[in-house]
Each structure stands twice: as structure tokens, then as C-alpha cells.
Amino acid sequence: MFSALERPQSIDLLSSSEFDLLVIGGGITGAGIALDAATRGLSVALIEKQDFAAGTSSRSTKLIHGGLRYLKQFEFKLVSEVGKEREIVYRNAPHLVIPEKMVLPVIKGGSLGWYSSSFGIYVYDWLAGVKRKERRKMFKKEETMKLEPLLKEDELIGSATYTEYRTDDARLTVEVMKTAASKGALCLNYMEAKNFVYDGNKVTAVMAEDLTGGTKMEIKAKKIVNAAGPWVDTLREKDNSLEGKRLHHTKGVHLVVPHEKFPIQNAMYFDVGDGRMIFTIPREGQTYIGTTDTNYKKQLERPKVTKDDVNYLLAAVNRLFKIEPLEESDVISSWCGLRPLIHEDGKSPSELSRKDEIFISESGLISIAGGKLTGYRKMAERVVDLVSGKSCITDKIKLEGGDFQSRKMIAEYTDNKIDEAKQVCNNPKKIAALVRRYGSNTDVIIKRAYEIYQQAENKETVIDVAEAWYVVNYEMAGNLCDFMIRRTGRLYFKIQDVEAELPIFAEAFAQLLGWDDTERQKQLAEFDKEYKEVLAFV
């Protein structure tokens, strides 16, 4: 049950059942816990006060990576664990996780020299168990310029190449959530945990409110997990257990510019000049740049990109690359996320560990914080081990849409779908994009497009209407923001198409969800606020 149209039934079940485990938080960590627990035979519910992945899990660098820079902090165990996890996530969701060659320029005065880069990436590959064909290679200056002609030559010594894995963080979260739902977990977005309920001094339930309809309810569970990301300490405070270690929020900003403005040929990872490193990654006709890493102590909802953030990232690019200097006006989109790290006195944001940590309060509330997108499955395993004696099996579970054994199979499937969909969509790029988002579930979308084709007034938009139908019925998307931002990433990587596409999707959602004109205008206004915010630098 993972349909926006079945929300009333889901709410009834949520309020009338007692669960073995209730998870608070619908980011990648909460989704991973729900899947792990459901596959071990536990009855599971998950609630999220925003949309799934609306917090940190849709605002990362969108890489399944092993954290090369954590070697500098001697976090060998973390690098080893998440490095090995990359391969598991790649195997279980190959449509969403794509190998990406990364070029690391070695420059004069940089934090990594030629030999330290070579040795460091060698150790990184060894710890992460990287396959031989994907291991690091070293290149001299002349070879590096062939790899990436845009690099400035003056300070360049050479480069290293190694492999990372590109993903769509929000879609990965949704696919994990869908898989958990297929195993019996009851997962609901826009359901806020307000307070805890106790029997004596033990937590036994959560008082929650449906933010779409106002219904308030008590959700009973034998064990409750707080996986609320940046809001973990907010819930620990409600539980009167916020003592000892606390969260340290840092802010990460990413900018999107048109690829023609910054036409790099490879994904890059390079020195900023202040001891930090950032990525620049080509994707879907754009290039995105990030990330920053600064202390953050303001409101947790909707963190803002500042002009200082923009200037910092653009200056780093302009310093290293032979391009017409990028300016703020070249930025077409952006996103900003918070990292819920564990505070350590005296450490800067970049020095703080990315390791996860579990806190168990006297009431029995289990809280987990810290960690990385790549390590979500192991984080979930450690939590569920506390409440189940059965073994974790999620390393062997294909995620929804991931029914492929190789990249060749995905390419063949894509070609077949392009051919199959010709009548309803003679646009190969659009069908290929559907496969990248939904994998083998593209079948369902194309089938729906054929079902509505004859009655459709506008044959050109049938595949778009079918996609909207799919995310409402199969991915619990209940509004335009869910769809345009987290289900499809259009706001970030296809923002130039939004103005033309928005009326099509607004009409489709209105038909599917029964919006009247007032509700439709409200939904358009909500999306317009998000649309303007990606360029509203404060």
C-alpha cells in the first residue's frame, strides 16, 4: 500500500494497529530501517512530517561514494564499510546507481600531492574492495590536459582518476521506501510525530497529526526509532533524553549551471584552496558544483543558499578552469541541505566525523544520527539488530525497478522501451529518462500511456500524464512539489522545461486527486515558492 489515493485506508490502519516497530523519519535512514525490519518479519510503520526524502536525503551531492577525504581523518573503518556498500547499492539498484569516472587534479600547493594522491587512492581502492577495472590511474600533466582540456595549466602537475557512483538520492530513498512497502511496511508522508506516549517510564506510542487533513491519532508500537535526521535532537528533547552527545548541523550547498557555460568532460574532485575539496559533475545537460561545509544554527526547515555560498563555489571553479568566469547570473538552480553530524568540541565542520551513532534513552526510544547516504543499509542493520534476533538480508534484495543484472541489460531494456513506446511517445530521450528514474517499472507507465491514448485530447502529453498517474498511484506523491522536486528532479536539472510542463502536470494531478480550482491554485503557489527559492540567494 503505497498510493496517495489509498491514504485514508493507510491512516485507518496506522491508528488502529499496534506495530512491532515505528520509525519516525522518511529519509534514506528511516527507509532503510523500515525495509530491513519488514524483511525480518516485523510489523513496521513509518511516518514523515514532510515528503519522503524532503530533508537531507534529497539535498546531497547525489553520489554513492566511499568518502576519499575521510582518509585524511584516518577513518579507515568508515571508508572500508561505505566503500563496500557502494557495490551492494549498485547491484540492488543498477538503474539508479551509475559508475562515474572521477578526475582529481594534482595542483601545486594543493592538499594532495602526486605521491600522496597516488598512495591515498590506492589505499582507498584497497579498503573499499574496488574492482580491478575501476581502480585508480595516475596521469602526468600532458595526459591530464587530454582528459580535461578546461583545466588551467599553470599550476597543474597531473591527475588521478578513480571511480565513484552517481545516483539520484531522492529517488533512491523512494525506491527503498517502495520496496519496504512491498514487504508489508506501512509508510506515510505528511504525518508528523507531535509527542510521545508512555506507560510508566517506557515509550509505547506516538501522538501524530496528518498534515494533509488534520486528523490526530495515537500510533502504538513495541519499539520506536527516531531517524529524523536534522530533527533527531528535537525528538530527543520531547523524550526528555537530550543529554550527552548532540547534533552539530552543517550546511551543504550545490549550484547548477548550464553545461555550455561549464563544459567539463569528466566529473571532477578538486582543491578549493582552503583545505576543502568540492565536486563538479556533468548531468542531464547541466553541470552541478558543490558542496560547502559550514556551521548552521538557524531554522531546520528550508535552509537558504546565501550569496557567500554562491561566491565561494564559483570562485573555486573560476580559479581552476579556463572558462568565461562564472557569475551568479549563470546559476539556474540550487539546493541546500543539512548534515546531522555528531558534535565534537574544537573541530571544524569539515573535520567532524561522518560516522553514525545510536542513542538509547531510558524510555526505550532508539535514536540514530550521523552517517552518509552510502552507508544507509548498514546503519539500518545496526538499528534493527537491537530489536530483532533474525539476520539482515537486505544486501540480497533488489530495490523496486532494479530488475537488471548488468548495465548492458539496462541499455537493451531502454532500447526496447523506446521502440515499444513510439506511438505514445516518439521521444527517445524522454523514455530513456523514465528508465533512469523508474527502471523496470517503466513498463507500467508505458502501459498506462497506451490505455489513455485514444481518449486523450493532447496525444503529445500522454506519456507525461501517465508518469504523473504512476507516482500518485505507486509512489505516494500527493502534490506538485513531490513530483517536480523529489520524484523527478525537474526543478534542479530540467528547470528550463518547467514553465512549459507545469500546466500539464497540474492538470494531471488535479484530475487524479480531485482538486478544485482553489486547491489547484494553492498547489501551483506552493510550487512557485520552491521555484523562486532555488535562485533567491540571501
Q: What are phi and psi of 365, to 5 degrees?
A: -65, 130
Based on its alpha-carbon atoms, the radius of gyration of the chain, rounded to whole angstroms, reads 23
Rounded-to-10 torsion of CA 228, 229, 230, 236? 50
In tens, the pLDDT along 159-186 reads: 999 888 999 999 999 999 999 999 999 9
Q: What is the pLDDT of residue 370?
A: 87
Q: Can you read off the three cell numbers belonging to residue 512?
A: 487524479
pLDDT band at residue 70, thresholds of 50, 70 and 90? low
Helices 442-453 and 462-474 pack at an angle, to 10 degrees, of 130
Closest CA to 484 of 513, 506, 460: 506
Q: Are 395 and 88 in contact (CB under 8 A)?
A: yes
Helices (H), 396-461: 407-420, 428-438, 442-453
Q: Are 340 and 370 in contact (CB under 8 A)?
A: yes
> To which H or E segment does residue 396 belong?
none
3-state secondary structure of 333: strand
Q: What is the pLDDT of residue 66?
A: 65
For cell 506519456, what's the residue? Answer: 463
Closest CA to 123 of 43, 67, 174, 200: 67
pLDDT band at residue 229, thresholds of 50, 70 and 90? very high
Angstrom distance (rounded) from CA 256 to CA 252: 14
3-state secondary structure of 203: strand
Q: Are 355 and 361 in contact (CB under 8 A)?
A: no
Closest CA to 285 of 314, 317, 262: 262
Rounded percentage of the chain residues whose pLDDT exceeds 70 = 97
> Does 297 have pLDDT greater than 70?
yes
Those residues with Cβ within 8 angstroms of residue 483's Cβ, 6 or more apart along the chain or in another chain: 468, 471, 477, 490, 505, 509
Angstrom distance (rounded) from CA 67 to CA 78: 8
Q: What SS3 string covers 242-274? A: CCCCCEEEEEEEEEEEECCCCCCCCEEEEECCC
Closest CA to 311 of 108, 538, 104: 538
What is the pLDDT averaged over residues 327-352?
85
Q: What is the pLDDT of residue 62?
A: 96
Q: What are phi and psi of 151, to 5 degrees?
A: -70, 140
In tens, the pLDDT along 239-256 reads: 999 988 899 999 999 999
Q: Are 173 and 27 in contact (CB under 8 A)?
A: yes
For cell 513498463, what's the residue? Answer: 443
Per the prediction, the chain carries an average pLDDT of: 93
Tell me whether strands 216-226 and 18-24 are parallel, antiparallel or unpaired. Answer: parallel
Q: Are 247 and 340 in contact (CB under 8 A)?
A: yes
Taking residue 80's Cβ as centre, other Cβ atoms within 10 Å add up to: 16
Q: What is the pLDDT of residue 342?
A: 87
> Does 69 have pLDDT greater than 70?
no
Domains of the chain: 4-57+170-245+353-396 (3.50.50.60), 97-165+248-349 (3.30.9.10), 407-533 (1.10.8.870)
What is the pLDDT averaged over residues 49-65?
95
> Does 349 have pLDDT greater than 80?
no
The vertex-283 CA angle with 176 and 303, nearest 5°, equals: 65
